[in-house]
Structure 1
């Protein structure tokens, strides 16, 4: 079994996933509602360029996302207000990589806990990116390549 995160956005999915691909690397695939091989009937014309499904492959890891439609809200919720009650957690092998990712993901966002040494990690920090997604960066021990 594998467990993968699936994020919901309100029209910012392409921008957010492109940002994550820039920060994390990997291969990004986007499918818009207008790309649906079964057609985009039922999707208002002004929303057909929203993302139906996005997949960012980083090695063997997968981050998926889509845009909600206004009448659907965020993943079936009443409104798309960002991710609440959870965080994306990145485990890295070097302090340098932790610092790079923390700086990249926090650009335009808000630092919740600065990246610092803790009793369990060489570096740990928490942030909310500019799309409202919470991230935790954890480097248990510095193992530079």
Structure 2
């Protein structure tokens, strides 16, 4: 069994993928647009969404995530009830990653040492996704 995060960006998926590529080195592995799907008379493609991303798989480090533009609703939903965690190898990498994700986002907890790590911070990025970046103490690294 494998569990993978699946993120819905309500029409901003391509923008998010570029942002994560620039800031985290994310690499798109597979991508399909709505226009690539076989026609379905019961669920026609909404005009203006043909070039939106129906599904994609992308990799950040050794983790694969999936994403979509979703329904591209007029009233966007919010990302709630979860956060994505990035564990880095050293505090300077952590601070750099934290600052990159904070670009255009909102800092929830500034990058700082904690009792469980040499550096930790929380940020909601410009797409509404919560990120927790941590550099654990040397003996506390989790196996990947």
Structure 2 counterpart SS, 1:62? strand
Query: 1:76 maps to what in 2?
Result: none
What is the TM-score when the length of structure 1 is the normalising length? 0.83
Structure 2 partner of 1:83? 79
Runs of 4 or more above 4 Å deviation: none
Q: Give 2:15's aligned residue.
A: 15
Given that 2:112 and 2:118 are in contact with CA atoms closer than 8 Å, whether structure 1 keeps it comes out as yes
Mapped to 2, the partners of 1:139 and 1:40 lie a distance apart of 48
Q: Which runs of 5+ in 1 are unaligned?
A: 74-78
Moved more, 122-131 or 25-34: 25-34
Gaps of 5+ in 2: 139-144
Report the Cα distance in structure 2 between the residues aligned to 1:32 and 1:43, rounded to whole angstroms. 11
What corresponds to 2:114 in structure 1? Answer: 118
CA contact (8 A) 1:94 1:141 kept: no
Find the aligned partners of 1:80 and 1:65 in 2 and give their Cα distance. Answer: 15
Distance 2:113 2:3 in 1: 28
Root mean square deviation of aligned Cα? 2.0
Q: 1:63 Cα deviation (Å)?
A: 1.6
- Displacement, 1:59? 4.2
Aligned partners of 1:32 and 1:52 also within 8 Å: yes
2:50 to 45, 48, 51: 48
User: CA shift at 1:2, angstroms?
Assistant: 2.5
How much has 1:40 moved relative to structure 2? 6.7
